[in-house]
Chain A
Amino acid sequence: MALTDAPQFGPATGLSCRECGTVYDLGPLFACAECFGPLEVAYDFGDVRREDIESGPTNIWRYRVLLPVPENVATKPNLQPGWTKLVKADNLAAELGLRSLHVKDDSGNPTHSFKDRVVSIALEAARTFGFHTLSCSSTGNLAGAVGAAAARAGLDSCVFIPANLEEAKVTMAAVYGGRLVAIDGTYDEVNRFCSELIGDELGEKWGFVNVNLRPFYAEGSKTLAYEIAEQLGWRLPDQIVIPIASGSQLTKIDKGFRELIKLGLVEDKPYRIFGAQAEGCSPVSAAFKAGHDVVQPVRPNTIAKSLAIGNPADGPYVLDIARRTGGAVEDVDDHEVVEAIRLLARTEGVFAETAGGVTVGVLRKLVRNGVLDPDAETVVLNTGDGLKTLDAVAAEARPTAVIRPSLEAFRTAFAN
């Protein structure tokens, strides 16, 4: 199924192993046969100009010349995600003591999380490889994104989630009509199950977006980097706070920034990358603090379920990037996550899911600890919608008063 030089993959030239550099033809491969290292898409971009991008559609396909997708991708049935708001967060900045802060609010995607970006790239690869079923292991957001993308594209879907997910995520994963299988276990166990399914004839002709299509899927996160830079006026931020689940998103945002520098689309300047985890699932943060370059897996226990990956496959790369850029990896507990969700909502009118509470909570902690530079241009990511994790704040976000419909009752209720 090798498709080297196929126009279906735009500027992509092959898959190369991040560990040992072995190069493979473009195909539904994800692990290096030599060393099991993760494969990633290699490119030959040629000349890319800002004007080419700026004249494109207001979704991720404006960056198609930087992605492994066909030239006509914007005309195909897909969710057309991206170009989400970069919110200038002056109120939150003032509250935290930062000079300049933006929130990249990816809850504005079609299925309300950043996952639409990655799934859209994987979908194009699935079509090219002739897969009939789109699948994934998911902590929730991905399952919904896959179901929706498959529905739009006219493919079957079958997605796998841990059985204990938030109700809203289960509903969103099921509503698009594909098969939804809840597995009695953790995300890591679901992931393991999918890895075994892929080697079985039951999974024949299935495109698992985050397994056998992972090299393509992961590239979708680069579009966050492109958009942030373009929305800042073709500049890189000085520092950015990114959530860590598997670590894939963080590594690809770094890749995106480096590509923009290499292509001359932004000025070459230093930037610092900070990773954010929930304390109840903080294997990368623990490894960072201990000075390790490998990650010891943990069993997750946190309300930030979309980040609850105890065995993060890209953890070692996150450690490399945080150290290379002068950043850090930090974690906050569930109470701080809830506080941060409310802080962001109260100051900026952005209602984040628990993962956004993790990044904003870590942002606040890093400022307080003097790790972040308060004078530097800062971006924090919100990767999902608070409506998906209502339980996190439901107990505290209640009516201020319940009254009879009379002015007198209102006056009495607010007399103080």
Chain B
Amino acid sequence: MSVSVRIPTILRTYTSGAAEVSSDGGTLREVLQKLDADYPGIGGRILDETGKIRRFVNVYVGEEDVRFTEGLDTPTPGGSQISVIPAVAGG
């Protein structure tokens, strides 16, 4: 299932500057695996050594922060918009 992934500025060196790329997979985990296969190394920037989402990264499927849903097991139906965003403090 094709999905769209929005890439934050600091990871665009992996995507030749592209702000948005396509990926595939039924869950967020699969989508990130495919993303890493297409842009080697990018997966290790989003996930830590144990395979969990790094604590200063927020990942959204559609409008939902995946920490509110099923984390890496969150379903990613075709056409999903996925966003990877650095956490920022301040308010």
Q: Is there an interface contact between A210 and B8, defined as CB atoms closer than 8 Å?
A: no
User: Bound complex: CA of A189 vs CA of B65, how far in Å?
Assistant: 10
Max chain B Cβ within 10 angstroms of own Cβ: one of A36, A191, A210, A246? A36
Complexed CA–CA distance, A38 and B46 (Å): 14
Q: How far is the CB of A39 from chain B (nearest CB, A)?
A: 10
Q: Is the CB of A210 within 8 A of B60?
A: no
Interchain pairs with CB closer than 8 A, number: 102
Interface membership of A294, Cβ < 8 A = yes
- Which residues of B lie under 8 Å from residue A196 when comparing CB positions? 6, 83, 85
Whether the pair B55, A311 counts as a contact (CB closer than 8 A) is: no
Let me know if A192 and B90 touch, CB within 8 A.
no
A214–B19 contact, CB under 8 A? no
Q: How many residues of B contact A (CB 8 A)?
A: 29
| A: number of interface residues (CB 8 Å) | 48
Query: Which of the residues B6, B13, B87, B91 comes within 8 Å of A187, measured between beta carbons?
Result: B91
> Do residues A245 and B85 form an inter-chain contact, with CB atoms below 8 A?
no
Residues of B within 8 A of A312 (CB): 89
- Interface residue A58 (Cβ < 8 Å from any Cβ of B): no
Per-residue contact bits, chain B 31-70, to A (CB 8 Å; 1 contact, 0 not): 0000000000000011010000011111010010101100
Q: How far is the CB of A381 from chain B (nearest CB, A)?
A: 15
CB distance from A106 to the nearest CB of B (A): 15
Q: Which of B46, B55, B85 contacts A192 (CB 8 A)?
A: B85
CB distance from A292 to the nearest CB of B (A): 11
A297 contacts B91, CB within 8 Å? no
A210:B86 contact, CB within 8 angstroms? no
With the chains together, A312 CA to B19 CA distance in Å?
26
Pick the contact of B90: A35, A188, A209 (CB < 8 A).
Answer: A209
Q: Is A33 an interface position by the 8 A CB rule?
A: yes
Known A33-B10, A35-B56, A37-B56; judge A200-B90 contact (CB<8 A). no
Report yes or no: B54 in contact with A35, Cβ–Cβ below 8 A.
yes
Encode contact with B along A24-38: 1 for CB under 8 Å, 0 otherwise: 000000111111111
Partner of A218, one of B11, B13, B85, B89: B89
> How many angstroms from the CA of A136 to the CA of B89 in the assembled complex?
11
- Residues of A119-155 contacting chain B, CB below 8 A: 136-139, 142
B21 to chain A, nearest CB (A): 13
Q: Are B55 and A294 in contact (CB under 8 A)?
A: yes
Docked complex Cα distance between A369 and B67 (Å): 33
Of A36, A218, A296, the contact of B45 (CB 8 Å cutoff): A36
Shortest CB–CB separation between residue B9 and chain A, in angstroms?
4
**Across-interface contacts of B86 in A (CB, < 8 A):** 30-31, 36, 195
A195 contacts B56, CB within 8 Å? no
Task: State whether the Cβ of A314 lies closer than 8 Å to any Cβ in chain B.
Answer: yes
Say yes or no: B91 contacts A306, CB within 8 Å: yes
Known pairs A142-B91, A196-B85, A245-B91; A31 contacts B10 (CB<8 A): yes
Q: Is the Cβ of B89 less than 8 Å from the Cβ of A210?
A: yes
Instruction: Please give the residue numbers on chain A whose beta carbons come within 8 Å of chain B beta carbons, in ascending order.
Output: 19, 30-38, 118, 136-139, 142, 187-189, 191-192, 195-196, 198-200, 209-211, 214, 217-218, 245-248, 294, 296-297, 299, 306-307, 309, 311-314, 316
A-B contact pairs, 14 of them (CB 8 A): A31-B86, A33-B13, A33-B45, A35-B45, A36-B10, A36-B46, A36-B56, A195-B88, A196-B6, A210-B88, A211-B90, A246-B89, A297-B68, A311-B65
Question: B-side interface residues toward A, CB under 8 Å?
Answer: 6, 8-13, 19, 45-46, 48, 54-58, 60, 63, 65, 67-68, 83, 85-91
